Amino acid sequence: MRAPSIAIFIVTVILAFAGVWEYVGAPVRIPEIVLPIVGSTREIPAFLTANAFWLVFLAWVLLAIATLLPHTKNKAGSVA
């Protein structure tokens, strides 16, 4: 096992934080943004509340997989 990359770590922290925050029921204001392809952001809080457990579980799985990935070598030949 090894430390995961910082990008995966940040993504998992955000997912876990959003899941726990919604599970606790703390109010979060998300500004309404309307995009032509996605639609409105009005449905995001309901999605987060309904899937709070799965957000935390996904964060845990990503972190567990990231710790098991093999080391990569950079161009100099040393282990990154």
Query: Whole-model pTM?
Result: 0.63
Tokens of 53: 């457990």
* Sign for the pseudo-dihedral over CA of 67, 80, 17, 42: negative
Please name which of 53, 57, 51, 60 lies closest in space to residue 9, comparing C-alpha atoms: 60
Please name which of 18, 79, 9, 13 lies closest in space to residue 44, comparing C-alpha atoms: 18
**pLDDT (tens digit per residue) in 29-61:** 767 777 677 666 677 777 777 888 888 888 889
